[in-house]
Amino acid sequence: MRHPPHPLAFLATLALGVGSASGQAVTMESPDGVFSESFSVIQTVRELPDGRVLVADPLGQALVAVDFGRQAGDTLGRVGQGPAEYRQPDAVWPLPGGETLLVDLGNGRLTRLGADLSFGDTRPYTVGEMGPGRELILAIPQGVDDQGRLYFRSMGSPGRGGMMADSAWVLRLEPATDEVDSIAPFKITGRTRQTSGGANNQNVSIQQIPLSPADAWGVAPDGRVVLARVGDYRVEWVGPDGSVTRGPSYEWDAVRIGQAEKEEWASDRDSGGGGLAIGVTMQNGSMSMQATRGGGGGNSDLDQYQWPDIKPPFYADRIAVDAQGRAWVRRHVDAGDPPLYDVFGGDGSRLAQVQLAMGRRVVGFGSDAVYMVETDEFGLQTLERHPAPTF
């Protein structure tokens, strides 16, 4: 693994001042397709050349090819550990040649699906091994480019003197060689740390601080990485050559955090599958890692967290990039207000603010479509297809 370069080594190709409330105001409320069957959790979707849409449902343990026209969903593979099987299909990403990458959390592997959706080769989503002078990397992608390279985050680790790191790195994996490159640093969600017990029997508990300021990032098909910076709310793009294009900073209205905002955060966490739980296993001197999704705690555990006074400007979620190369940043709003996205162009300027209908969030894009999910009062999710807006 290459050592991360110093952040100042990046070449800034554009740096502007404070932006105004620029960009068009767009409302997206009318889908042109709704799939009638519900899912438990949808993280990503993959539009196929024939118009069908692949959906991975980790909690429902299903991989489904959705046909909006026929209102039919064909389940691919089955639950298990063998060929053409999965245990927790979490995400689907396009690969070169019309293939698809399936992230199978439950079996700890990445599976290639052929252009005909046949199940092919698998590989662990861990790279390397744990030990003195060695590193075990959890390469669960948050994006895949059109060359098939995987983008994921470093795990972050306690710093010197028992202090926790406040940042991580966007990493890029070349699957053919297992070479990992460091692309850009980003601020991560704040955490609290509690230690108990003695020197020989020490327990460490690390817990996130919900709604604490953190950067967000995503990947464009051409390999550019987009980052939303929470410090001054700006967007920057890191090119495949390491050059950085920085947009202007934007003002935002602070939202104070009350009980309604805390409950909304818990509901949103649950609708996203409850977050990732990372397990570490030691067997015969060998360490392995595996991730699972699920375990949302509802609203009963809100008092256990430390909370900031105000919301940051945007969610620290994956930034989805559409077919036109525009980055969709999900904004924080007052509890009960309709969802809002800021859409940024390749120069980092805001092109539009897009308001969705209540209960919706963006999960992916097609060539001329935006795919959203609606979460109902029972937590079930319905997939919608909307025409891609022009601005």
The string of pLDDT tens digits covering residues 15-59 is 333 344 567 999 999 999 999 999 999 999 999 999 999 999 999
CA dihedral 35→38→44→46, nearest 10 degrees, is -40
E strands in 201-332: 201-208, 216-219, 225-229, 234-238, 243-246, 249-250, 276-283, 286-293, 320-321, 327-330
Angle (nearest 5°) at CA 384 between 381 and 386: 150
Specify whether the CB–CB gap between 362 and 330 falls below 8 A: yes
CA distance 382 to 42: 9
Angle value at C-alpha 271, between 300 and 118, nearest 5 degrees = 140
Domain boundaries, the chain: 7-387
H or E stretch covering 266:
helix 259-271
pLDDT of residue 134: 63
pLDDT at 282: 58
Please tell me the distance from the alpha carbon of residue 184 to that of residue 10, in angstroms, as a whole number.
Answer: 9
**What Rg do the C-alpha atoms of the chain give, in angstroms?**
21
Q: What is residue 132's predicted lDDT score, i.e. its pLDDT?
A: 59
Q: Which residues of the chain have pLDDT under 70?
A: 1-22, 129-134, 156-164, 198-205, 279-289, 295-300
Q: What is the pTM of this model?
A: 0.88
Residues pairing with 364 in the sheet: 371
Q: What is 7-387's CATH topology? A: Neuraminidase (2.120.10)
388 by DSSP, 3-state: which?
coil
